[in-house]
Amino acid sequence: MTNKSTARAHTNIALIKYWGKANQELIIPTNDSLSLTLDQFYTDTTVEFDANLNGDQLVLNNQLITGKMATKTSAFLDLIRNMASIDTPAKITSINHVPTAAGLASSASAFAALAAAGSDAAGLALSRTELSRLARRGSGSATRSIFGGFAEWIAGDSDANSYAQPFQENVTMDIQMLTVVVDATEKKIGSRAGMQHALSTSPFFKTWVTESAKDLVTIKEAIKRADFATIGEIAENNALQMHAINLSAKPGFTYFNGATIQLLNIVQELRQQGIPAYATMDAGPNVKIISQSTDTETISNAIKSVFPTVTLEVAKPGPGISFLN
Ligand code: ADP
Ligand code: DP6
């Protein structure tokens, strides 16, 4: 058995969000979701099983990690060890080419890369569907990062039938996410706790689930006909609905900060000027502007005029999982 493997997984940003679990332990979502995998942001992870180690070791961005993050990684490796019938500890070395826990989907690329590297190092030859199911157990959004381009996570109702599948892996239409990083520090409320609180206490949660199902049907049709404006409109509205669920929870909360609202206003103003730009936000204040390459300069200038020092990155559709062995 090869006991060492390295995999690269790219992050994905949902256009139809996953926000709520029907089963917390197995990470089965309350609704289907759909995302775009991005080329600019990714995680490289090496897993090496080594009988000489006293326990698992996690080194992230060249720093030895202990505590909750390390425990979560070990619990995930236990799933792999169970599947492979081994009990060998492992050294995990990972580099995030994306800010960690800032709402830019590091958990998606992290657990997709860990699923691929870990299962390969343990000698398991998993299919992409099996990898997607496994990655899901680490972090729901990771299930979609196994695939490139537009990927759809079918919620299912059991471990066996909850996984992502490609919707359109080779994206030929002009679509990009202009990422505006207003704050790259770790969020205070993780997605896991945030979505559970919203599900348990927002009076609008059921409506969120039914509206998302409708949004999914419409956006899939729009993707098929490369209708950029409809994709953007639905994605922005779906994101705002997800954040409305948080505001309406008891007690209410938000991932937005002042800059998020300012950026939402800039995007609206751009649209009034005829520039097709749409915003999406995840569990953090940073804004991803769904846009077309022809408008990069205009949008960047509009943002820089209000936030002269902000970090802007343009991400295009990216690939699915790959091995770097
Ligand atoms: P994000 O918005 O970045 O996805 P989350 O709070 O959803 O934020 O997930 C961040 C968590 O994902 C971290 O706290 C950690 O547990 C895990 N994580 C991120 N990167 C890695 C990595 N490279 N290896 C292992 N775990 C990671
Ligand atoms: C807002 O996948 O990070 O990014 O499954 O609890 O690990 P866990 O949550 P996570 O949540 C992602 C939520 C989101 C929307 C999305 O990616 O669909």
Kindly give the number of the ligand 2 atom that is closest to the alpha carbon of 17: 18
CA distances from 34 to 117, 161, 252, 316 (A): 24, 16, 26, 16
pLDDT for the residue numbered 194? 97
| Distance of alpha carbon 174 from alpha carbon 314, whole angstroms | 12
Q: Is 95 in the pocket of ligand 1 (CB under 6 A)?
A: no
**CB within 8 A of 100, min separation 6: which ones?**
60, 61, 106, 186
Q: Is 283 in the pocket of ligand 1 (CB under 6 A)?
A: yes
**CB within 8 A of 49, min separation 6: which ones?**
3, 4, 86, 88, 89, 90, 121, 122
∠129-166-76 over CA atoms, to 5°?
A: 40
CB 150 within 8 A of CB 226: no
Which ligand number lies closest to the CA of residue 145?
Answer: 2
Q: Is 107 in the pocket of ligand 2 (CB under 6 A)?
A: yes
Q: What is the pLDDT along the chain (325 residues), one digit of tens a residue?
A: 459 999 999 999 999 999 999 999 999 999 999 999 999 999 999 999 999 999 999 999 999 999 999 999 999 999 999 999 999 999 999 999 998 766 778 999 999 999 999 999 999 999 999 999 999 999 999 999 999 999 999 999 999 999 999 999 999 999 999 999 988 887 789 999 999 999 999 999 999 999 999 999 999 999 999 999 999 999 999 999 999 999 999 999 999 999 999 999 999 999 999 999 999 999 999 999 999 999 999 999 999 999 999 999 999 999 999 999 9
Q: Whose CA is nearest to atom 25 of ligand 1?
A: 110
State the distance from the centre of ligand 1 to the C-alpha of 60, rounded, in angstroms.
10
pLDDT for the residue numbered 100? 76
Structure tokens at 27: 């990470």
Kindly give the number of the ligand 2 atom that is closest to the alpha carbon of 153: 18
State the distance from the centre of ligand 2 to the C-alpha of 123, rounded, in angstroms.
29
State the distance from the centre of ligand 2 to the C-alpha of 13, rounded, in angstroms.
9
pLDDT for the residue numbered 102? 65
Kindly give the number of the ligand 2 atom that is closest to the alpha carbon of 242: 1
DSSP 211-256: HHHHHHHHHHHHHHTT-HHHHHHHHHHHHHHHHHHHHTSSS---S-
State the distance from the centre of ligand 2 to the C-alpha of 201, rounded, in angstroms.
18
pLDDT for the residue numbered 188? 83
- What is the pTM (predicted TM-score) of this model? 0.97
pLDDT for the residue numbered 310? 93
DSSP 81-145: HHHHT----EEEEEEEES-TTSSS-HHHHHHHHHHHHHHHHTT----HHHHHHHHHHH-GGGGGG
CB 44 within 8 A of CB 86: no
pLDDT for the residue numbered 235? 99
Structure tokens at 103: 């709402």
| Distance of alpha carbon 235 from alpha carbon 239, whole angstroms | 6
**CB within 8 A of 94, min separation 6: which ones?**
43, 44, 45, 46, 58, 59, 60, 61, 110, 113, 114
Domains of the chain: 4-172 (3.30.230.10), 176-315 (3.30.70.890)
Q: Is 7 in the pocket of ligand 2 (CB under 6 A)?
A: no
Q: What is the dihedral of CA 198, 202, 204, 208, to 10 degrees?
A: 10
State the distance from the centre of ligand 1 to the C-alpha of 207, rounded, in angstroms.
29
Backbone angles phi, psi at 104, to 5 degrees: -115, 20
Q: Whose CA is nearest to atom 3 of ligand 2?
A: 191
State the distance from the centre of ligand 2 to the C-alpha of 26, rounded, in angstroms.
14
